[in-house]
Structure 1
């Protein structure tokens, strides 16, 4: 029987590449996004349903899940991919922007998962794959909000792994490094207040580092292939890194104590 994956944030980047990869492998794909018109080309592919889902809008979540099940009969894999990165001095962020970062990356992920779980629980099978980041295991300066959300994704996913294993549902975490996506554009919320002079050296160092790391970023297809592995390898493996830089950073973080690793990041940023 043909399997089905529901993907959030499928309009571009990792979500789009994953939709195309799974469709090419013969799966049914429920490709969800806030603006379905962006997915017109995806919608032309066989066995692809493009529909609206905004992780901040519960009715849209419920409608997309119901439409996907009505179309394909099941949801075997949920990929929680929708999200963005908020960077900058904490003092530069108004509270509504802080709330939006956590609502999108954490609460929205939980809302979509909660909407799909009754279906998977009834089937006693399924896999939930959450897109975290190497930024869920390590941090850069000025990433208080983004890293806060990704550390949360790591923790909730690991706890959920215990919880859902008892009913036959797997949980996986994919941790990409720097990926050639629009993370630096529409998926990047950078705030700065130049009157906060004390933070400006960190701002300049971070921007230079991101430019440098971006030059060696992996293609979204690299992450799509790792997601495919996580969805189909039949193991209880919890975490998967994606990208050579992710593997290198994770190895360094595991091998070094806090002072050594943080010192290396500061040196890289010239702080």
Structure 2
């Protein structure tokens, strides 16, 4: 009897209507990460990803609610809500910064309830999460600008080095041309020196031959003089002998 009274009371009927209204707002979603919280799921996704900073709330939410098992046809069948979130996420520009008020989850499920945020677990509230996302987007933008500046500086340094190399090549080429000119001049001087030395040698040879001829002639004249002297001495000796013979003939003594 008390059970019937409790179930037909005004308070119970109000609670029943309230819960009915709440159930109409519920969607067909099944949390598929067992005891893992959204924070743990987010950490796992960031560890597996090559770009951890690109992991968003939509990625965490989809991983938590997407189907794991195949249906009778052997296909993985997600719920309509999960499919809509995936579709909105695929249409989102990756370079565009997102917020919890305009991401794929908010587009499909609407604004987050007061005091909590879908996909962030217990203790998160919209103001804090939105501030963290804004700060993360700002850091990402600054990092991209820094990378752009690095690329610009690298390009400028490459152009500067290239210009320096061209200047060095020009200097080397000018030096090589100067060396070639000096080398040609030295070769010309060497040729002139060789010609002059040849002329000097020829002149010396001519002078040497003339001196030799003069020496031969002098020697010949000297030999003639010696012969003349010898002839004169022989003639004197013969004359002396003749005189001695004459004296011995008249005196009987040999002088």
Shorter chain as denominator, the TM-score bin is: under 0.3
Q: Which has the higher contact order (CA 8 A, sep 6+)?
A: 1
Question: Normalising to structure 2: TM-score of the pair?
Answer: 0.21
Higher fraction of helix: 2
Q: What is the TM-score with the length of structure 1 in the denominator?
A: 0.20
- Choose 1 or 2 for highest CA Rg: 2
Of Structure 1 and Structure 2, which has the larger fraction of its residues in strand? 1
